[in-house]
Amino acid sequence: MNCKVPSFLKKALLATALLGAGHVYAADADGIVVYNAQHESLTKAWIEGFTKETGIKVTVRNGDDTEMGNQIVQEGAASPADVFLTENSPAMVLVDNAGLFAPVAPATLEQVDAAYRPAHGKWVGIAARSTVFVYNPSKLTEADLPKSLMDLADPKWKGRWAASPAGADFQAIVAAVLELKGEAATLEWLKGMKANFTAYRGNSSVLKAVNAGQIDSGVIYHYYRFGDQAKTGENSKNTALHYFKHKDPGAFVSVSGGGVLASSQHKEQAQAFLKWVTGKDGQAILKTGNSYEYAVGKNAESNPKLVPLQQLDAPKVDASRLDSKNAVELMTQAGLL
Amino acid sequence: MPETLPARVATPIPAPMRRHSRGLFAGRGGAWVIGLSVLVSLLSLLPIAFVLGVSWQTGWVRLVELVFRPRVGELLINTLLLVAITIPLCVALGVTLAWLTERSNLSGRRVWSLLAIAPLAVPAFVHSYAWVSLVPPIHGLFAGVLVSVIAYFPFLYLPVAATLRRLDPAIEDVAQSMGLKPWTVFFRVVVPQLRLAICGGSLLVGLHLLAEYGLYAMIRFDTFTTAIFDQFKSTFNGPAANMLAGVLALCCLAMLTVESAARGHARYARVGSGSAREQRLVRLKPGQTVMALTLWVLTCALTLGVPLVTLGKWLLAGGVQVWQMAELLPALQQTLLLGAAGAALTTLAAIPIAWLSIRSPGRLQRMLESCNYITSSLPGIVVALALVTVTVHFARPIYQTTLTVLLAYLLMFLPRALVSLRAGIAQAPIELENMARSLGRSPARALWLITLRLAAPGAAAGAALVFLAITNELTATLLLAPNGTRTLATGFWALTSEIDYAAAAPYALLMIVLSLPLTGLLYHQSKRTAGR
């Protein structure tokens, strides 16, 4: 062919190809890829500690629990992910149901309290968080507080509470309600919620709105308020927390999970990472850092400012049975998504 | 489809073009150019094919269940209200301001006209961030309309001002001589001549309203795009997300159709020989001057004052601490790299189509061009969903690579490169290219040596527009970026999602600084169009 490709074309194509290739190989060449749905700052602290100790490089992809869970399922056997970390259990169940997890190393399982990991050992708890009812004391007195999460579907709560339905956190709470109360009751509750609640994007926004008096109360996880108090408190100084306790669905304690993908090409390093996160140093970051999530390691202590896990009187929910797919489906049916 | 298109080329070319075209299609070079244009256009059909494909796959029953539900109705009402209220407001504001800078004797008109374009340098979601941190309770339709008008009215101001500037005053004189009052002249003579500019600008605003995610997510106003994102966050590319994307794509197509119908077939060229007389500026009465200046100051305070004051406030509050160089610098570097590579690739891909549209216009070329046009009207979220799904299932080697992100940018921003490039190629005489070929250069080489060099300024302007669009792109980048990639826009988004407004401020500032040249370029371009 006598028509030569112009040289600038070649250069530009070459540059594009190199750039593309560079990125592909940067991820593959060494180290592990973590699909992270946990708070970015917490995972960053874990990775820094782990890389410092082992020298193993970690590349992160950030996203949300079920987004990444579904993504891994679609990627299947060729997933670029080596490790998956979540904020809640349902996404772990999703990946596990697709048979994509390799068993967690026994030494890692042994480090974690049996209450915070499924018996089959395909994934393991890395931290925990408790559902709370956050309210503005100038709007609600203690006598007004709901006895149960289910009460919030009652018409008297119309326009008085907020949540972040698009977030995995709230979807995990819905999954817990589903597991405890069954499908019909859950859908009924979600429809009541649709009529009563105000949607915000993210639990931080819910906390901020309650603090500013835009709305009376909200359903979020405990650590948002502790984290803000530790900083300036500007988004939480006018708020208080109410724990439902009494094994109410609203006292649900959600287990954040970690797992190694069966398709991982770097299983040894991936297992080492999970072991580090659930081990002494990893769990200590939960106690001393600013995440304020509960530690789940055996003998690991949580931050002393938190109400101890044992006092929360949480309902017994088998984390390995939480069904995110059905929860999202019901929320879509109720018009929340 | 791929087989039938090139076959079309072989069918007889309409008579007026035949003489012109024979020489082109004779060489291998011509086929090469056509092949490339067809390839680019087929690629651009991917998102539409995806929407049709998943609808088919989902099946009628499930599709009805997912599309005809109250939530979709809510979103449709929200989106329609947003469009129906925002566009007329943008038109009113854009036309008023344009008239003031072009046809009145208001002092400081040059400065005002620059300030009217300046809000474009602030990404839409940064406008929203400024408002949310200034007035935290702001939300819903009112906030959506307010911030949208602020962020997008320049899209109307620009074309209207450029058209006003080159209207022939003779027509207005005639109207006046027939005894019409100035206001009647304005509405009966001037406004109809602005029809194309108003339609084009409104379309641009409307498409932005449908596509924008960050702006509305931050002020809690649900549109189709935010709902698709919520579904994506819960299900990756679940059927509900895909069906919403289908409805959104239909909305965009409907908007294109309405606009092309509203354009009408009136003749807009001036009659008569010679050049138009210089326009006479309308002398404002003192009261009118005060009102005009108040409008300008108010507009600038809302569109530029609010973002700059809030940003300054956060930067001051954050101090040196928020300049986390270890994170900011890589984000800046990634943004620049993606922007440069995306701009290069998009401009390259635009060359064959731009060349065809000048050297061999015809049905095929028009069809190819409209493929690209339609796709670029689709929101980033639809393009990204299509690419995620297609690459994860059928093109695994490029899944989660920079190439896929660049491809999304190509599909979304091709017309930006095309428009400028076409103007550049039109200015390069074909005789020079023919001469180079008669001296033995191959078609591709002649194209490169002669035409593209002459068209380089146009290509550069197009590339710059694409580059700047990429630096502020959020949705497609969030979905498609390779592991470990963080751009200024996605970094800003991650921080604001955790309500860390102070730490987000440097990202916003960098994006504005990067976008400033866009403002200058647009300003320059609009002046040049006016001089034509």
Instruction: Please write the tens of the pLDDT for every residue from B481-499.
Output: 999 899 999 999 999 988 8
Residues 6+ apart with CB under 8 A from A323: A90, A93, A175, A178, A179
A332 at interface of B, judged by CB pairs closer than 8 A: yes
DSSP assignment of B102-151: HHB--TTHHHHHHHHHGGGGS-HHHHHHHHHHHSTT--HHHHHHHHHHHH
Q: Is the pLDDT of residue B128 over 90?
A: yes
Read off the CATH number of the domain in which B198 is found.
1.10.3720.10
Cβ contact, residue pair A59, B70, below 8 Å: no
What does the pLDDT read at residue B528? 66
What is the spatial distance between Cα A140 and Cα A131, in angstroms, rounded to a whole number? 19
Measure in Å the smallest separation between the Cα of A23 and chain B Cα atoms. 6
Q: Closest Cα partner for A39 from A280, A290, A211? A: A290
Q: Please report the residues numbered 344 through 363 in chain B whose beta carbons come closer than 8 angstroms to any beta carbon of chain A.
A: 344-345, 348
Share of chain B above pLDDT 90, in %: 44
Size of interface A-B (CB pairs under 8 A): 144
Nearest to B482 among A27, A200, A336 (CB): A27
Q: Is the pLDDT of residue B458 over 60?
A: yes
Q: Which tens digit of pLDDT belongs to each residue from B45-102?
A: 899 898 888 888 888 898 888 888 898 999 999 999 999 999 999 999 999 999 999 9
Are both B39 and B87 inside the same structural domain?
A: no
What does the pLDDT read at residue A27? 45
Q: Which tens digit of pLDDT belongs to each residue from A205-241?
A: 999 999 999 999 999 999 999 999 988 888 899 999 9
A232 at interface of B, judged by CB pairs closer than 8 A: no
**Residues B39, B42, B47, CA angle at the centre, nearest 5°?**
140
End-to-end CA distance of chain B, in Å?
40
What does the pLDDT read at residue B272? 67
Q: Please report the residues numbered 70 through 99 in chain A whose beta carbons come closer than 8 angstroms to any beta carbon of chain B.
A: 70-71, 73-75, 78, 80
Are both B36 and B151 inside the same structural domain?
A: no
| pLDDT band (50, 70, 90) for residue A25 | very low
Cβ contact, residue pair A201, B70, below 8 Å: no
Q: Please report the residues numbered 295 through 324 in chain A whose beta carbons come closer than 8 angstroms to any beta carbon of chain B.
A: 324
CB < 8 Å to B443, chain A: 3
> Does residue B283 sit within a domain?
no
What does the pLDDT read at residue B444? 80
Nearest to B484 among A15, A59, A199 (CB): A59
Q: Answer yes or no: are the C-beta atoms of A54 and A272 closer than 8 Å.
A: yes
What does the pLDDT read at residue B488? 96
What does the pLDDT read at residue B529? 56
Torsion B239-B241-B244-B245 (CA) sign: negative
Cβ contact, residue pair A20, B403, below 8 Å: yes
Beta strands in A66-156 (DSSP E): 83-85, 101-102, 124-135
Are both B163 and B199 inside the same structural domain?
A: yes
CATH of A129-252+324-333, one of 3.40.190.10, 3.40.50.620, 3.90.550.10, 3.50.50.60: 3.40.190.10
Are A31-128+254-302 and A129-252+324-333 in the same CATH fold? yes
Q: For A31-128+254-302, CATH number?
A: 3.40.190.10
Q: Which tens digit of pLDDT belongs to each residue from B395-412?
A: 889 999 999 999 999 999
What is the spatial distance between Cα B315 and Cα B453, in angstroms, rounded to a whole number? 44
Q: Which tens digit of pLDDT belongs to each residue from B371-396?
A: 888 888 888 989 998 999 899 988 88
B341 at interface of A, judged by CB pairs closer than 8 A: yes
What is the spatial distance between Cα B290 and Cα B174, in angstroms, rounded to a whole number? 30
B324 at interface of A, judged by CB pairs closer than 8 A: no
Q: Closest Cα partner for B117 from B151, B89, B83? A: B151
* A126 secondary structure, DSSP code: E
What does the pLDDT read at residue B9? 34
Q: Tell me the residue range of the domain where B475 lies.
A: 1-9+19-44+322-532
Tokens 């395909």 label which residue? A122
Q: Parse chain A into domains and list their residue ranges.
A: 31-128+254-302, 129-252+324-333
Cβ contact, residue pair A4, B240, below 8 Å: no
| pLDDT band (50, 70, 90) for residue B23 | very low
Q: Is the pLDDT of residue A50 over 80?
A: yes
CA distances from B509 to B167, B310, B496, B516 (A): 38, 11, 14, 11
B266 or A52: which leads in pLDDT: A52
Are both B30 and B74 inside the same structural domain?
A: no
What does the pLDDT read at residue B403? 94
Are both B207 and B78 inside the same structural domain?
A: yes
Are both B231 and B214 inside the same structural domain?
A: yes
Cα A141 versus chain centre, distance: 31
Cβ contact, residue pair B499, A202, below 8 Å: yes
What is the spatial distance between Cα A204 and Cα A212, in angstroms, rounded to a whole number? 12
Enter the tokens of residue B40: 């680019």
Q: What would the mean pLDDT of A25-53 be, rounded to a whole number?
A: 86
* A297 secondary structure, DSSP code: B
Q: Is the pLDDT of residue A8 over 60?
A: no
Torsion B157-B159-B165-B167 (CA) sign: negative
CB < 8 Å to B467, chain A: none
Residues 6+ apart with CB under 8 A from A156: none
Q: Answer yes or no: are the C-beta atoms of B505 and B322 closer than 8 Å.
A: yes
Nearest to A328 among B69, B235, B345 (CB): B235
> Does residue B388 sit within a domain?
yes
Count how many domains chain B has.
2
Q: Please report the residues numbered 236 through 295 in chain B whose beta carbons come closer than 8 angstroms to any beta carbon of chain A.
A: 236-238, 240
What does the pLDDT read at residue B1? 30
Average pLDDT taken over every residue of chain A: 90
Q: Answer yes or no: are the C-beta atoms of A310 and A171 closer than 8 Å.
A: no
Average pLDDT taken over every residue of chain B: 86
| pLDDT band (50, 70, 90) for residue B112 | very high
**Residues B183, B271, B162, CA angle at the centre, nearest 5°?**
55
A193 or B447: which leads in pLDDT: A193
